[in-house]
Amino acid sequence: MECFAPQESYPGEKRASLTPETAKKLSQLGLIVKAEANLGSGSNYPDAEYKKAGVSLLSSASDGLATADIVLRVRKPSAEEISAMKPGTILLSHLDPFNETELIQQLAQAKITSISLEMIPRTTLAQKMDVLSSQANLAGYSAVIEATSRIRKVLPMMMTPAGTISPCKVFVIGVGVAGLQAIATAKRLGARVEAFDTRPVVEEQVKSLGAKFVKIDLGDTGQTAQGYAKALTPEQIQMQQAGMAKICASSDVVITTAKLFGRKAPTLVTEEMIAGMQTGSVIVDLAVEGGGNVVGVKLNEEVTTENGVIILGHGSFEGNVAYHATQVYASNLLSFIEHFWDNENKRFKLDREDEILNGCLITHDGEIVHEQFKPKAG
Ligand code: NAD
């Protein structure tokens, strides 16, 4: 079998789906590994390293797509790329199937076996393949670093002969994978950190990182069987906004990461709350691609409000640390392939009984096979 990693075409995407290290391991499984030349130019993996790892570098993506049995991507493929693939190709990529109805239909029509990596179940067995976690962790880190570079203040307390500098206050809203790493990073840099999440189980984790958990009584909130937050009622959202307004007003940095899997992110930071914040404060909205938590945030833009608050809405903060984001993303893909690898016959075994595959297989053999995305009868 042959696998191919094309360059990413999404504007500004620096990550890649293959590293020299994972290429070597894929070859050891028995795969022929090919990649588009300059694959790692945005993430600092030089062509020479891929060559050393035995990868054949192609100057044109369409040549690689035409013969590949497995295609590795970070972002969804274009319509042209889909038509360049042969029927039966296994595509591993982010596909955003909740919003990409047309893309999913195209993949089915082209008889591509498509696997949406964000749909991999969040189970212990699948942890090594969990691209949401590997990328969110780095996004949380990068959000703090980016905000820190903008606030024109230092994070830790400093006692100097010229006076005492008070520590900055960082408020993290949404304490999943990204939020936890944001808290840990801000704490390491010496900030005073507070955090809030609607899932009460998070309180212990926040405290164990040395941060303060903000208590806002919203009544019943709970979480889904998969561990995701449930959507709040409009009344609960209002109570949450009221509870957070004061903390935002006294924070130098606010980082929002609150997502609802497969649904639009809740609006948590309102215009009024931003108007109450200090000039020079920075808000980072890590939920911007899902609609955003902050009123006025713009995807891939930096907005400065009238009162001088900076709102950062880059879609992929992990792209700022593209070397490591690529390292862990490519490793997730390798683990996925290893899990399904039939070593005897040197092929990817599409085990339809497997719980992991069932969770993330979207199209196969000309059809949309995932229960959640099948067209409704009638
Ligand atoms: P996510 O990106 O979907 O959401 C980020 C956080 O926002 C979550 O903690 C969520 O509770 C919170 N949130 C949602 N609405 C909110 C609101 N109105 N106000 C404040 N916070 C709000 O979450 P994630 O980081 O992908 O993690 C989701 C869950 O999956 C977590 O419980 C995590 O521990 C779990 N998880 C499990 C595994 C595993 O077992 N292998 C791996 C990764 C994550």
pLDDT at 377: 67
Q: What is the pLDDT of residues 342-360, one digit of tens each?
A: 999 999 999 999 999 999 9
**Tokens representing residue 292 in the block:** 């955003």
Helix 322-339 / helix 131-150 crossing angle, nearest 10 deg: 170
Determine the average pLDDT of the residues in 117-129. 96
**pTM strictly above 0.85:** yes
Out of 137, 202, 257, give the residue to mutate to test ligand 1, the one with the largest number of ligand atoms within 8 Å of its CB: 257
Q: What is the pLDDT of residues 191-246, one digit of tens each?
A: 999 999 998 889 999 999 999 999 988 888 877 777 788 888 889 999 889 999 99
Active-site choice (127, 226, 250, 278): 127
DSSP 236: H
DSSP letters of 110-155?
TT-EEEEGGGS---STTGGG-HHHHHHHHHHHHHHHHHHHHSSS-S
Residue 122 is a catalytic residue: yes
Active-site choice (122, 150, 188, 347): 122
Ligand 1 atom with least separation from CA of 260: 3
Domains plus CATH for the chain?
2-130+321-368 (3.40.50.720), 150-315 (3.40.50.720)
**Tokens representing residue 101 in the block:** 């109805």
What residues does ligand 1 touch, defined as CB less than 6 Å away?
122-124, 127, 130, 132-133, 136, 173-179, 196-199, 227-229, 232, 240, 257-261, 266, 268
Q: What percent of the chain has pLDDT over 90?
A: 89
pLDDT at 322: 98
The residue whose CA is least distant from atom 37 of ligand 1 is 122
Within 10 Å of residue 241's Cβ, how many Cβ atoms? Answer: 18
Does residue 378 surpass a pLDDT of 60? no
Q: What is the pLDDT of residues 50-70, one digit of tens each?
A: 999 999 999 999 999 999 999
Distance of CA 238 to CAs 76, 191, 254, 260, 273, Å?
36, 28, 18, 17, 12
pLDDT band for position 35 (cuts 50, 70, 90): very high
Q: What is the pLDDT of residues 151-202, one digit of tens each?
A: 999 999 999 999 999 999 999 999 999 999 999 999 999 999 999 999 888 9
Determine the average pLDDT of the residues in 254-281. 94
Does residue 18 surpass a pLDDT of 70? yes
Contact predicate 43/316, CB 8 Å: no
Residue 127 is a catalytic residue: yes
DSSP 3-state of 156: coil
pLDDT at 4: 98
pLDDT band for position 368 (cuts 50, 70, 90): very high
